[in-house]
């Protein structure tokens, strides 16, 4: 099944959590504070070691184990590089935040932000692209190994020894799904809690997960697509908001009910009543996610396992913190009896992760670290960056041997941004590398890198002529000495010329050998 959920706006948040600007943000999802009381449990230490949990995970796991000794923690080794995953999740459109979120949570990358006007593009109604910082925070499992958010890692498969109707009733209590309903097309009356239990048995998906997700998607009072009142699609239901996304001509609710009106007996489509929508949607969810190895809330949000449909694309929702809010709903729905049982939590592990958990962006500033103008004027008056583009961060040029310097002039879009690395720069013969950094008001830095090759460099200069002036003298030896002491940087071409000993490194031995050559003690470098 190639179809998948592409929602950003989450109705439950819209109804329950919005009120003031930014109040849709889950307040409880702060940086995890470790409980100082940890256990010395040899068996659990052996378990963590055998699972291959990184050391940075263990303090959080020890705290959880001390509070819930029956819980089982499994390391889900993704085999993926952290930086690769983060880059993929930062592709504009894959993760969104509400436009009322702090500006530091919003991306200023191409396709997300209109730099001239300083405004963000609405990518799904009032939702905008999430910043790298907030994505990293919610992507990092270590931030959510705590009592509330651990449930984003709970195995979501149906377990008849754990899941029961009373637990479903607790989830649905106080909502429009707390009692019975009558199917409008057949006149048959059903009970919502029992319907979710039936859906779990048919789909293999946890009924607690199904009920919690519907509550989260449809809200306490229900949305038009769960009440059968979407204009033009009256009498059609889509409790899980499958295929609910905005287009240029249709609302998310209309798209959801358009899907509900299609024909596919595998999923009991068309969904002309609540019963068919819940059971058919559960089967769709099970076949599309749970049975494709995306069997936790985390994995349904971040597609980092390949269950036959690739990576990163098959994600249930685009709201970057949706899985965190749903995790709280799941935990609150469980009775003390369930919480004291042997629940399994599958926690993803990546390679090359940061040494400590990624922090949540807290700045009130924005991430606008773009330059509206960047001039690189050479000594002969040529602007190397006449075709500068704000989102291109690396440039390479070759200039004539007579070009001795370049002057960088930078103007950021935001008056609150600061620039370092600009000004007049001397050009050595051969390769030169310069980095200009723009720091946004949020503290996020963007680097623009320029590689400028001055002719007459590495191809025509001799070993030992480090500064490229055509002579080998004491100045070259001093350059090497300054480099080894950290007082000076050398370009890659200069390093090649400085390595007169040919051992692959530039150190004090090279400086001494150049001095020996200059003094006449040796005849050849």
pLDDT digits (tens, 9 = 90+) for 156-210: 889 888 788 998 998 899 999 999 999 999 999 999 999 999 999 999 998 988 9
Residues 166 and 253 in one domain: yes
Does residue 461 lie in a domain region? no
Residues 346 and 434 in one domain: no
Q: Which two tokens stand for residue 420?
A: 């370092």
Does residue 469 lie in a domain region? no
Query: Which of 236, 271, 294 finishes a domain?
Result: 294
Q: Which of the pair, 368 or 156, is modelled with greater confidence?
A: 368
353 and 54 in contact (C-beta within 8 Å)?
yes
Q: Which two tokens stand for residue 226?
A: 């769960």
How many domains is the chain partitioned into structurally? 4
What does the pLDDT average to over 447-455?
Answer: 95
CATH code, domain with 375: 2.60.40
317 and 7 in contact (C-beta within 8 Å)?
yes
Does residue 3 lie in a domain region? no
Query: Which of 266, 294, 322 finishes a domain?
Result: 294
pTM: 0.71
Q: Find, among 514, 523, 524, the residue nearest to 477 by Cα.
A: 514
- According to the model, what pLDDT value does residue 33 have? 47
- According to the model, what pLDDT value does residue 355 have? 97
Residues 179 and 269 in one domain: yes
Residues 289 and 336 in one domain: no
- According to the model, what pLDDT value does residue 38 have? 45
Asked if residue 11 has pLDDT above 50, the reply is no
pLDDT, tens digit, 9 for 90 and up, residues 259-282: 999 999 999 999 999 999 999 999
Asked if residue 441 has pLDDT above 90, the reply is yes
Asked if residue 120 has pLDDT above 90, the reply is yes
Asked if residue 27 has pLDDT above 60, the reply is no
> Which of 135-144, 199-208, 329-338, 394-403 comes out lowest in average pLDDT?
329-338
Does residue 289 lie in a domain region? yes
Residues 309 and 283 in one domain: no
Residues 290 and 300 in one domain: no
Which residues lie closer than 8 Å to 397 by C-beta, 6 or more apart? 376, 384, 450, 451, 452, 453
- According to the model, what pLDDT value does residue 397 have? 96
Query: Which of 419, 454, 489 finishes a domain?
Result: 454
- According to the model, what pLDDT value does residue 405 have? 96
> Can you tell me the distance from the alpha carbon of 146 to that of 71, in angstroms, rounded to the nearest whole number?
12
DSSP 14: I
- According to the model, what pLDDT value does residue 459 have? 54
Tokens 């001509």, located at residue = 249
> Can you tell me the distance from the alpha carbon of 206 to that of 162, in angstroms, rounded to the nearest whole number?
9
Q: What are phi and psi of 439, to 5 degrees?
A: -105, 120
Does residue 428 lie in a domain region? yes
- Give residue 309's pLDDT band: very low, low, confident or very high (50, 70, 90): confident
3-class secondary-structure state, position 411: strand
What does the pLDDT average to over 459-485?
Answer: 87
By residue count, the chain amounts to: 525
497 and 466 in contact (C-beta within 8 Å)?
yes
Residues 49 and 91 in one domain: yes
Residues 376 and 278 in one domain: no
Residue 350 is part of which domain span? 15-155+296-361
- What is the residue-averaged pLDDT of the chain? 89
What does the pLDDT average to over 25-31?
Answer: 47
Residues 333 and 422 in one domain: no
Q: Which two tokens stand for residue 481?
A: 């000495």
> Can you tell me the distance from the alpha carbon of 411 to that of 85, in angstroms, rounded to the nearest whole number?
32
How large is the C-alpha radius of gyration of the chain?
Answer: 30
506 and 484 in contact (C-beta within 8 Å)?
yes
Q: Find, among 31, 59, 11, 15, the residue nearest to 226 by Cα.
A: 11
Secondary-structure percent of the chain, ordered helix, strand, coil, rounded to 5:
35, 20, 50
Residues 285 and 180 in one domain: yes
Q: Find, among 492, 406, 498, 403, the residue nearest to 456 by Cα.
A: 403
* Cis peptide preceding 72, ω within 30 of 0: no
Residues 25 and 149 in one domain: yes
pLDDT, tens digit, 9 for 90 and up, residues 51-81: 999 999 999 999 999 999 999 999 999 999 9
Q: What are phi and psi of 372, to 5 degrees?
A: -85, -25
> Can you tell me the distance from the alpha carbon of 104 to that of 441, in angstroms, rounded to the nearest whole number?
9
Does residue 5 lie in a domain region? no
Does residue 199 lie in a domain region? yes
Percentage of the chain beyond pLDDT 90 is 74
Does residue 194 lie in a domain region? yes
Residues 241 and 117 in one domain: no
- According to the model, what pLDDT value does residue 117 have? 95
């Amino acid at each position: 099944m190639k179809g998948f959920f592409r929602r950003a706006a989450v109705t439950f948040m819209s109804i329950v959590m919005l009120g003031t600007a930014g109040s849709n943000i889950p307040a409880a999802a702060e940086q995890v504070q470790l409980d100082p009381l940890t256990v010395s449990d040899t068996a659990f230490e052996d378990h963590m070691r055998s699972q291959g949990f990184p050391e940075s995970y263990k303090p959080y796991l020890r705290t959880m184990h001390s509070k819930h000794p029956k819980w089982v923690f499994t390391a889900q080794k993704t085999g993926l590089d952290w930086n690769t995953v983060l880059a993929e999740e930062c592709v504009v459109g894959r993760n969104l935040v509400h436009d009322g979120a702090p500006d530091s949570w919003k991306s200023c990358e191409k396709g997300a932000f209109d730099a001239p006007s300083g405004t963000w593009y609405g990518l799904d109604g009032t939702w905008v692209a999430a910043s790298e910082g907030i994505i990293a925070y919610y992507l990092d499992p270590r931030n959510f190994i705590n009592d509330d958010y651990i449930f984003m890692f709970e195995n979501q498969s149906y377990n008849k020894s754990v899941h029961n109707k009373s637990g479903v009733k607790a989830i649905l209590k106080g909502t429009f799904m707390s009692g019975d309903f009558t199917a409008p097309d057949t006149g048959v009356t059903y009970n919502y809690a029992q319907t979710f239990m039936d859906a779990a048995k048919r789909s293999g998906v946890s009924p607690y997960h199904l009920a919690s997700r519907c509550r989260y998607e449809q809200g306490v009072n229900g949305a038009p697509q769960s009440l059968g009142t979407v204009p033009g699609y009256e009498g059609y239901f889509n409790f899980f908001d499958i295929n609910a996304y905005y287009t240029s001509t249709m609302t998310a609710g209309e798209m959801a009910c358009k899907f509900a009106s299609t024909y596919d007996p595998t999923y009991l489509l068309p969904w002309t009543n609540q019963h068919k929508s819940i059971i058919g949607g559960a089967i769709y969810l099970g076949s599309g996610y749970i049975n494709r190895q995306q069997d936790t809330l985390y994995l349904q949000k971040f597609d980092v396992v390949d269950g036959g449909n690739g990576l990163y694309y098959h994600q249930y929702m685009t709201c970057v913190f949706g899985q965190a809010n749903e995790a709280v709903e799941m935990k609150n729905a469980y009775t003390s009896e369930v919480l004291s049982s042997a629940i399994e939590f599958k926690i993803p592990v990546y390679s090359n992760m940061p040494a400590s958990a990624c922090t949540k962006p807290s700045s009130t500033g924005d991430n606008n670290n773009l330059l509206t103008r960047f001039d690189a004027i050479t000594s002969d008056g040529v602007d190397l960056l006449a075709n500068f583009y704000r989102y291109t961060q690396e440039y390479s040029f070759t200039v004539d041997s007579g070009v001795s310097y370049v002057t960088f002039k930078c103007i950021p879009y935001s008056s609150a941004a600061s620039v370092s690395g600009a000004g007049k720069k001397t050009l050595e013969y051969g390769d030169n590398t310069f980095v200009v950094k723009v720091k946004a008001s949020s503290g996020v830095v963007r680097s623009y890198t320029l590689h400028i090759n001055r002719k007459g460099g590495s191809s025509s200069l001799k070993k030992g002529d480090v500064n490229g002036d055509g002579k080998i003298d004491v100045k070259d030896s001093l350059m090497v000495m300054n480099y080894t002491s950290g007082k000076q940087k050398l370009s890659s071409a200069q390093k090649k010329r400085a390595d007169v000993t040919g051992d692959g490194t530039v150190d004090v031995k090279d400086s001494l050998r150049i001095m020996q050559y200059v003094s006449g003690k040796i005849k050849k470098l």
